Amino acid sequence: MPSLIKFENVTIFQNERPVVGNLSVEINSGEFVYLLGKTGSGKSSFLKTIYGDLPLNNGTGVVCGQSLNNLKSAQIPYLRRKLGIVFQDFQLLGDRSVYENLRFVMKATGWKEESKIKERIHDVLKKVSLEGKESKMPHELSGGEQQRVSIARALVNEPEIILADEPTGNLDPQTSEEILNLLKQISESGRAVLLATHDMLIYNKFRSRTLVFEDGKISEKN
C-alpha cells in the first residue's frame, strides 16, 4: 500500500515549546489509526502539523507526496485538498443550510459547475445517511447529524486522508459509536483515517493500530 504520511525524526513545537519529540511514523492508505492520549499530549499538534497549521522545522515529513519542510503558505491549500478534517465542535456555518455549508467549501476549493456541485453533495450526504436534510439549518440538527455534515464536508474533495480531532467529544455514547462506524467505513473505502481521542469507551469498541501520545513521546501498540 502506498505511504500517505511519513515522518522521520520529527520534533513538533507549539509556541516554541516541544510537545512531541523524535517522532518517526508511516501511515498507508486504508489504515485506521488511533491517536490516543490525554488532552495536551500532542495529538492535535500532530494533526496540525499534517495539515500545515504548524510548521515542520525539525526532522522530515511528507503528506500525500507533499514535503512539509519549508512549506510555503501558497502550497497549503493544495495540501489541504487532499485532506478532510473533522473537528470536535463541528465548525459548521450557522447561517447556512446543510447544502450551502458543503457548497461553500466546494466553491472555495475550485468547484465551478453547479450541476457537479449538486451531484457531489447528494453523493456525500447519502454516504453519511443524511439524504433529504439539504435544506436544514445546523441548529435544526442533532449533534450527531451535525457531525455527519462535518464528515460529509470533509469528503467532498475525495481526500486521501481523514483527520478527525476528538470527533465524538460532544456526543453521547450511542451517537459516538455511529460516528466511529462511519469513519471505519471510510477507511475501508481506501482512505487513511486518523482519529485523535482520549475516550477509552470509543477506543475499546473497535481496536485498530494505535499511536500513544505520552510524556512528549509516541509509542505504538496494535
Query: Domain 1-82+162-222 belongs to what topology?
Result: Rossmann fold (3.40.50)
Helices 114-127 + 143-155 axis angle, to 10: 130
Return the pLDDT at 199: 83
d(CA 77, CA 162): 16
Looking at the chain, the whole-number percentage of residues with pLDDT higher than 70 is 99
Return the pLDDT at 205: 85
Q: Is residue 77's pLDDT more than 90? A: no
Give the Cα-Cα-Cα angle 104, 109, 113 (nearest 5 degrees): 75
d(CA 18, CA 94): 36
Tell me which of 209 and 202 has the higher pLDDT. 209
In terms of DSSP bridges, do strands 161-165 and 83-86 run parallel, antiparallel, or are they unpaired? parallel
Return the pLDDT at 48: 94
pLDDT band at 2 (very low <50, low <70, confident <90, very high): low
Q: Is residue 222's pLDDT more than 70? A: no
Q: Is residue 19's pLDDT more than 70? A: yes
Which cell is 141 given?
Answer: 440538527
Return the pLDDT at 92: 92
Q: What DSSP string describes the chain?
A: --EEEEEEEEEEEETTEEEEEEEEEEEETT-EEEEE--TTSSHHHHHHHHTTSS-B-SSEEEETTEE-BT--GGGHHHHHTTEEEE-TT----TTS-HHHHHHHHHHHTT---HHHHHHHHHHHHHHTT-TT-TT--GGGS-HHHHHHHHHHHHHTT--SEEEEESTTTTS-HHHHHHHHHHHHHHHHTT-EEEEEE--HHHHHHS--EEEEEETTEEEEE-
List the domain boundaries for the chain.
1-82+162-222, 91-158
Which cell is 152 given?
Answer: 460529509
Single-letter code of the amino acid located at 179: I
- Average pLDDT of span 191-211: 91
Average pLDDT of the chain, as a whole number: 92
